[in-house]
């Protein structure tokens, strides 16, 4: 677990720095400098890009992680990586030629009349999606060599830092709001190029058009695994896309803020998964099921404990946090709760996803991906359009979908591989989170209202005091009850 902890620790720091900057962007700079309408436009453009990206990548980023450790000879590795660079072009080039028709279809069928202004920027969807596809390919390239920190920095910190710089440029009048969108696109291109040069520095292959011996397995896996990559994007990004089919762009901006806040708790999961993916694949390729099971249990309890703390910090302070934002954003309180519960369940599964995707049962990702897409779509239609629950309905649809299909994946791994992440510590962690949630959610310190730089000061003090209490109580109980061996060992080392 040494390399896992070392790189996960670095990745977690980078991710939380990125989330800190992203929080400033989302909560203060976007609403203040760009406005909710343009924030909504940017959100929808990036959401469409995220939806299309897995198709553009053709599952190659998962395929690299699955198969790279199989090859022992450099020649076969080089053939494999060469074909990995070519496959995304099989989709990217035809989509580029047909883009005018595709963008017309998007604008005419999924955008309301009041939101037609987005058609001036739809080329951004294509450019960003293909850049992100190749970024993920090169990132996977470095992951299989257990080099994750640079890619993680570019994925989690770079984009948010660029957005902050561009938003400040808008506020000072250096660029227009339209310039912001196209400048951001340019930085996506630059990010992909940086990742490419780094991947080549880590391992530079001798390029070959001759396919590797197992190319049929590679093609089959890539096609099936597309749906594994699509499912995660569909669950969140289809919500933002559907908003603009019914409401103004401002509604998409409000929902984006709620999703961002609710997703804050999953940063450790993203950091850990980046190193767990290649290690899980390697262990499965070597038929080392004991190591896979060990990684499964450890990743689950540690992510649950850390995610539980951030779940409490966010939801027990959410009302006060929204008091710091412009009017309209406070409607996302319930959405934050639903999204954060869904993220908690994702974290509890640990490396369940990589286990399925890299095992011989990878074809199971196909029905899971299709089922996830259909379920979240029809539940969105039910809760958002028919019952008219507003964006709370979208978040509820996300939660229900995640609960159904995560449970299916949990049971599938248990039945097929006889592995489960559930232990006695799991029950202790869940009980602790539930008790502390109900203990802290419904009250705040009674602090007189006052202003700090034209912002309400009392919510800030409330958040600080409440957070200190939650961290102290939660941390003490987790350590005292030895919920996580790894966390206790880490604390013991720090004391020394």
Q: In this structure, are residues 371 and 323 in contact, taking their beta carbons and an 8 Å threshold?
A: no
How many distinct helices (H) and strands (E) make up the chain? 22, 2
Sign of the dihedral defined by the CA atoms of residues 343, 265, 185, 175, in that order: positive
Distance CA 268, CA 271 (A): 5
Beta-carbon count within 10 A of 293 CB: 18
The Cα–Cα gap between 252 and 47 comes to: 10
Q: Are 131 and 186 in contact (CB under 8 A)?
A: no
Strands (E), 321-386: none
User: Do residues 170 and 177 lie in contact, with contact meaning Cβ atoms separated by under 8 Å?
Assistant: yes
Can you give the pLDDT at residue 1?
46
Following CA atoms 185, 189, 191, 192 in sequence, which dihedral angle do they give, to the nearest 10 degrees? 140
Three-point CA angle 66, 72, 76, nearest 5°: 80
pLDDT score of 327: 75
> What is the full DSSP assignment across 87-133?
TTHHHHHHHHHTHHHHHHHHHHHHS-GGGGGGGGSTHHHHHHHHHHH
- Pick from 384, 76, 333: which is nearest to 206 by CA? 76
Q: How far apart are CA 316 and CA 216, in angstroms?
A: 51
Kindly list the averaged pLDDT for each block of 10 residues, start to end, along the chain of length 496: 59 78 81 78 85 86 83 84 88 90 78 69 92 93 84 89 93 91 95 95 86 82 72 67 65 77 78 73 83 89 91 92 78 89 92 86 84 88 86 90 94 93 93 94 82 79 92 94 85 72
pTM: 0.80
Task: State the Cα–Cα distance between residues 422 and 318, nearest whole angstrom.
Answer: 30
Q: Are 297 and 421 in contact (CB under 8 A)?
A: yes
Q: Give which of 122, 51, 134, 62 is closest to 93, Cα–Cα.
A: 134
User: Is residue 249 a contact partner of residue 283, using CB atoms and an 8 Å limit?
Assistant: no
Q: How far apart are CA 265 and CA 316, in angstroms?
A: 13
Q: If DSSP codes are grouped into helix, strand and coil, which group holds residue 208?
A: coil
What is residue 382's predicted lDDT score, i.e. its pLDDT? 92
**Which residues are bridge partners to 455 per DSSP?**
452
Residue 33: Cβ within 10 Å count: 20
- The dihedrals phi and psi of 122, each to the nearest 5 degrees, come to -65, -20
Report d(CA 98, CA 215) in Å as an integer.
28
Q: What phi and psi, each to the nearest 5 degrees, are found at residue 73?
A: -90, 140
Q: What distance in Å separates the CA atoms of residue 256 and residue 240, rounded to the nearest whole number?
A: 7
Q: How far apart are the first and last CA of the chain?
A: 20
d(CA 174, CA 32): 16
Query: What H or E segment, with its residue span, contains residue 423?
Result: none
Asked whether 21 and 164 are in contact (CB, 8 A), the reply is: yes
Q: CA dist 253 to 32, 249, 477, Å?
A: 12, 6, 38
């Amino acid at each position: 677990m040494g390399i896992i902890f070392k790189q996960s620790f670095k990745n977690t720091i980078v991710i939380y720095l990125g989330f800190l900057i992203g929080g400033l962007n989302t909560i203060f700079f976007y609403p203040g400098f760009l406005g909710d309408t343009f924030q909504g436009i940017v959100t929808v453009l990036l959401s469409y890009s995220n939806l299309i990206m897995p198709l553009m990548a053709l599952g190659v980023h998962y395929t690299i992680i699955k198969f790279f450790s199989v090859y022992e000879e450099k020649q076969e590795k080089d053939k494999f990586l060469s074909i990995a660079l070519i496959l995304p072009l099989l989709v990217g080039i035809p989509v580029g030629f047909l883009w005018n028709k595709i963008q017309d279809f998007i604008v005419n069928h999924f955008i309301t009349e009041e939101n037609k202004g987005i058609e001036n920027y739809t080329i951004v969807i294509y450019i960003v999606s293909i850049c992100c596809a190749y970024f993920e390919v090169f990132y996977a390239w470095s992951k299989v060599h257990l080099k994750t920190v640079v890619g993680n920095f570019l994925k989690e910190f770079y984009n948010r830092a660029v957005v902050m710089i561009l938003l400040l440029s808008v506020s000072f009048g250096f660029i227009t709001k339209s310039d912001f969108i196209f400048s951001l696109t340019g930085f996506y291109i630059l990010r992909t190029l940086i990742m490419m040069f780094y991947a080549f520095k880590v391992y530079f292959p001798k390029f070959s058009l001759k396919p590797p011996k197992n190319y049929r397995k590679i093609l089959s896996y890539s096609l099936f695994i597309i749906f594994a990559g699509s499912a995660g994007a569909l669950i969140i990004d289809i919500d933002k896309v559907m908003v603009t089919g019914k409401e103004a762009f401002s509604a998409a901006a409000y929902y984006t803020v709620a999703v961002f806040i609710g997703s804050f708790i999953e940063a450790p999961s993203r950091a850990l998964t980046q190193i767990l993916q290649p290690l899980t694949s390697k262990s499965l390729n070597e038929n080392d099921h004991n190591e896979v099971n060990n990684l499964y249990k450890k990743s689950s309890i540690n992510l649950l404990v850390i995610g539980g703390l951030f779940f409490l910090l966010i939801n027990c302070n959410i009302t006060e946090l929204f008091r710091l934002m412009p009017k309209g954003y406070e409607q996302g309180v319930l959405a934050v709760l639903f999204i954060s519960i869904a993220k908690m369940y994702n974290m509890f599964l640990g490396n369940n996803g990589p286990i399925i995707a890299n095992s011989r049962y990878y074809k199971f990702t196909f029905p899971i991906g299709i089922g996830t897409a259909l379920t979240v779509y029809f539940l969105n239609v039910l809760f958002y359009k028919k019952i008219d629950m507003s964006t709370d309905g979208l978040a509820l649809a996300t939660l229900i979908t995640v609960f159904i299909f995560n449970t299916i994946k949990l049971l599938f791994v248990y039945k097929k591989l006889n592995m489960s992440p559930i232990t006695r510590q799991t029950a202790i962690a869940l009980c602790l989170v539930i008790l502390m949630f109900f203990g802290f959610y419904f009250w705040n310190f009674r602090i007189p209202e006052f202003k700090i730089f034209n912002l309400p000061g009392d919510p800030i003090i409330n958040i600080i005091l409440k957070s200190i209490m939650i961290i102290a109580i939660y941390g003490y109980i987790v350590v005292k009850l030895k919920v996580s061996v790894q966390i206790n060992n880490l604390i013991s080392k720090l004391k020394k």
